[in-house]
Amino acid sequence: MTARTLGPALLFCPADRPDRYAKAAERSDAVVLDLEDAVAPSAKAAARAALVDTPLDPARTVVRVNAAGTADLDADLDALRRTAYRTVMLPKTASAADLDALEGFATIALVETAAGVLHAAEIAAVPHVVALHWGADDLVASLGGTASRHPDGRWRHVALHARSTVLVAAGAHGKPAYDAVHMDIGDLDGLAREAADAAASGFVGTACVHPSQVAVVRAAFRPDDAAVERARRLLDAASRERGVFRFAGRMVDGPVLAHAREVLRRAGSTEDAAPRPVQR
């Protein structure tokens, strides 16, 4: 399994709530069983037991473990080895060295500290890192700040800097990236705008904290019929042209054709879509 096959809507579920596991899996593209922030310290042992005793499809399940260098991570890995789960998310990934303990697991590196943002490229270069994800609240806390968003819901500049840095670092190493969660559950319009921007910018998905967010994220990452038809007509025209040409009043060159191929890939078409190149 690769992170790209998980789908655009990842849904977090507390690992100490096995009664929610199946519902979370049914309502999302992939479920993230959370052993970290969603679980109180006193409940972590019970959460690990639930992880072992309540299996889900490993191809659509990610386990968020605790941070590197903690006794909780050691206990998490002991529990994971008793399951079929081999895709994990490491929170607060600050450097490539933080990932050493997870060799053998396909790892989504969650970059959410100042050190992690500075080292995003080296984190993305680790072979068993299959994707990057970023978080804003822990990042701002690590800087001594008090809010990652403006009162109107817009990201503050420091959060946008981290978002862009993580996306570029992932892309430079041929890895996909997931956008941060939208914590205001009732603000579906804001989520829709953010997810649409994420899709247009190159993220492959957005993490969700509530099932109501899943449909919004899926819609943002699924090109509509008009976009698919435009992409097909553009690529058809390109097959009859040589070099730069004009289409529907717009100059078309290589990057524009790449955008069209990506629209078809996201729409599930393979006839014109080319795989994204991996840079090494």
User: Which parts are annotated binding residues for Mg(2+)?
Assistant: 112, 138
Distance CA 180, CA 163 (A): 8
Annotated binding-site ranges for substrate:
64, 112
Q: Are strands 129-134 and 106-111 parallel, antiparallel or unpaired?
A: parallel
**Helix, strand or coil, per DSSP, at residue 188:** helix
Annotated binding-site ranges:
64, 112, 138
CB 107 within 8 A of CB 153: no
Distance CA 167, CA 158 (A): 14
**DSSP 3-state helix, strand, coil percentages of the chain (rounded to 5)?**
45, 15, 35
In this structure, what DSSP letter does residue 67 have? P
CB-count exposure of residue 99 (10 Å: 0-12, 13-18, 19+) = buried
Q: How far apart are the first and last CA of the chain?
A: 20
- Angle made by CA atoms 270, 272, 277, in degrees to the nearest 5: 85
CB 10 within 8 A of CB 207: yes
